[in-house]
């Protein structure tokens, strides 16, 4: 029956236009006719009905039918049927007078195993007919815009399927753009859908693989747009997705936000320094950013050091660069001192100085001079310097820098012992 219907479908011909009894010549590719999508739908639905719920048989039927039916022209109809059971009207509803099938995603069991089996059907179909890739991507974008027209169960199944197809590379993460639709976001549909989607995606891969896919399409910094503007905060995102069992996604977004805030802070700092803004204004700005974006003092001191060192064109001569560095850093000591109020921040700064002097060979002999300057300017104190010397230094240039610091460290130890004995005498 189905083969007879397909043959009938393919043999329909329209009268070719003629002139003086001459038939126009047509190129081979122009001979395909514009059939009614309803007839295409009937052929696919009848075939699916005959295969039943055996998804292996469904995949074989779809593979064979592609040789007879025009998948390229009717890709949207084909995917509508496989997902929803029939052609979808605008908004996502099935037309009442249309034939439909229960061999589809929306009529299947709502569990991960079943959706994984359906994902294989789509994978095989698109691998066999590569030209369907773009049509399938467009279909998923459309389905996401239609989410409000689907039941909760249908949305859950579509979310699981989409997550699996994102994980195996059948879909590109750019399809998530549809979830930022204002109405879907406003009504909470996008966030709820994203929970199911990311759960199945992370289940197939892991958060690192998800992060790579998001980064490729510049989607890694947009996930908070799943919520309305008044709820677009790391705190809200983190609470919502952590409670939904996606702590790793919450942590990923928190890290992304912090990285973005750090970059922005460094950029603004460099601009303020190049303008010569007063240190009190810079300090106030940095402290506000620390509070707003939950950035630690250790992170900030590293950013300030990097910014301070990047504002100068350094002399290439080793004997001159130390003098230039001391003069420059003396000027910025009050700024650095404002963000070394904790021992750990001081140690971070020491490690950054060591790293910088090692990576920039002209500074190798300047390390000790910089540390002494910062000690005198009360940017650094005895304890972190002694800790750095004893066991907290980096391996980079270790022997050179420890040798440079030897006499100063001995002086610090003696000064510390003297102050201790004076304190005991006072008691």
Tens of pLDDT along 3-43? 444 544 444 444 444 444 444 444 444 444 445 778 898 99
What pLDDT is recorded for position 96? 67
| Mean pLDDT value of segment 280-306 | 93
Q: Six-digit token pair at 161?
A: 């399927």
What pLDDT is recorded for position 419? 60
Mean pLDDT of the chain: 88
Q: What is the C-alpha R_g of the chain?
A: 33
What pLDDT is recorded for position 9? 47
Please give the backbone phi and psi of residue 72, each rounded to the nearest 5 degrees, phi first.
-60, -45
| Mean pLDDT value of segment 189-193 | 97
**8 A C-beta contact, residue 258 and residue 294:** yes
The percentage of residues in the chain with a pLDDT greater than 70, rounded to a whole number, is 88
Q: Six-digit token pair at 278?
A: 């007063």
- Residue 121's nearest CA partner among 104, 100, 140, 139 is 104
- Residue 119's nearest CA partner among 163, 181, 86, 88 is 163
Please give the backbone phi and psi of residue 19, each rounded to the nearest 5 degrees, phi first.
-135, 120
| Mean pLDDT value of segment 289-300 | 89
Highest-pLDDT range among 15-24, 130-139, 212-221: 130-139
What pLDDT is recorded for position 347? 96
pTM above 0.75, yes or no: no
Residues 6+ apart with CB under 8 A from 192: 155
Region of 85 on the Ramachandran plot (φ > 0 left; ψ -120 to 50 alpha; else beta) = left
Q: Six-digit token pair at 111?
A: 């569990």
What's the per-residue H, E or C state across the chain?
CHHHHHHHHHHCCCCCCEECCEECCCCHHHHCCCCCHHHHHHHHHHHHHHHCCCHHHHHHHHHHHCCCCCCCCCHHHHHHHHHHCCCECCCCCECCCCCCCCCCHHHCCCCHHHHHHHHHHHHHHHHHCCCHHHHHHHHHHHHHHCHHHCCHHHHHHHHHHHHHHHHCCCCCHHHHHHHHCHHHHHCCHHHHHHHHHHHHHHHHCCHHHHHHHHHHCCCCCCHHHHCCHHHCCHHHHHHHHHHCCCHHHHHHHHHHHHHHHHHHHHHHHHHHHHHCCCHHHHHHHHHHHHHHHCCCHHHHHHHHHHHHHHCCCCCCCHHHHHHHHHHHHHHHHHHHHCCCCCHHHHHHHHHHHHHHHHHCHHHHHHHHHHHHHHHHCCCCCHHHHHHHHHHHCCCCCHHHHHHHHHHHHHHHHHHHHHHHHHHHHHC
- Residue 198's nearest CA partner among 231, 240, 143 is 240
Which residues on adjacent β-strands are paired with residue 18? Answer: 23
| Mean pLDDT value of segment 420-426 | 55
| Mean pLDDT value of segment 276-299 | 92
The percentage of residues in the chain with a pLDDT greater than 90, rounded to a whole number, is 72
Q: Six-digit token pair at 184?
A: 């879907």
Q: Over 50: is that where the pLDDT of 227 sits?
A: yes
Least confident range from 67-76, 88-97, 368-377: namely: 88-97
| Mean pLDDT value of segment 275-279 | 94
| Mean pLDDT value of segment 60-73 | 93
CA 5/CA 382 separation, integer angstroms: 90
What pLDDT is recorded for position 23? 44
């Amino acid at each position: 029956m189905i083969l007879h219907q397909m043959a009938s479908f393919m043999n329909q011909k329209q009268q070719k236009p003629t002139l003086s009894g001459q038939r126009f010549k047509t190129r081979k590719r122009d001979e395909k006719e514009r059939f009614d999508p309803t007839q295409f739908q009937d052929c696919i639905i009848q075939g699916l009905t005959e295969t039943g719920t055996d998804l292996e048989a469904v995949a074989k039927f779809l593979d064979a039918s592609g040789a007879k039916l025009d998948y390229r022209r009717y890709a949207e109809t084909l995917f509508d049927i496989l997902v929803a059971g029939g052609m979808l009207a605008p908004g996502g509803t099935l037309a009442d007078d249309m034939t439909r099938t229960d061999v589809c995603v929306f009529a299947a069991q709502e569990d991960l195993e079943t959706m994984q089996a359906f994902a294989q059907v789509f994978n095989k179909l698109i691998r066999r007919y590569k030209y369907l890739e773009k049509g399938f991507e467009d279909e998923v974008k459309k389905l996401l815009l239609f989410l409000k027209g689907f039941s909760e169960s249908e949305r859950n199944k579509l979310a699981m399927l989409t997550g699996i197809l994102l994980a195996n590379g059948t879909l590109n993460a750019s399809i998530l753009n549809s979830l930022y639709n204002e109405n879907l976001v406003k009504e909470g549909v996008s966030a709820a859908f994203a929970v199911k989607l990311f759960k199945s995606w992370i289940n197939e891969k892991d958060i690192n693989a998800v992060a790579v896919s998001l980064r490729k399409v510049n989607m890694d910094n947009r996930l908070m747009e799943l919520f309305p503007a008044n709820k677009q905060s790391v705190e809200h995102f983190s609470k919502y997705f952590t409670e939904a069992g996606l702590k790793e996604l919450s942590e990923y977004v928190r890290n992304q936000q912090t990285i973005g805030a750090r970059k922005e802070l460094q950029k603004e700092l460099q601009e303020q320094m190049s303008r010569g803004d007063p240190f009190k204004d810079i300090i106030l700005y940095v402290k506000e950013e620390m509070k707003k974006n939950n950035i630690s003092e250790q992170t900030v001191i590293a950013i300030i050091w990097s910014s301070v060192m990047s504002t100068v064109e350094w002399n290439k001569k080793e004997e001159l660069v130390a003098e230039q560095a001391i003069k420059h850093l003396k000027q910025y000591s009050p700024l650095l001192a404002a963000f070394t109020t904790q021992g750990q921040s001081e140690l971070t700064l020491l490690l950054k100085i060591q790293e910088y002097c090692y990576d920039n060979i002209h500074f190798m002999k300047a390390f000790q001079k910089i540390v002494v300057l910062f000690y005198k300017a009360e940017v650094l104190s005895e304890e972190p310097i002694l800790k750095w010397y004893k066991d907290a230094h980096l391996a980079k240039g270790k022997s050179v820098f420890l040798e440079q610091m030897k006499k100063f460290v001995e002086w610090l130890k003696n000064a510390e012992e003297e102050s201790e004995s004076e304190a005991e005498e006072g008691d």
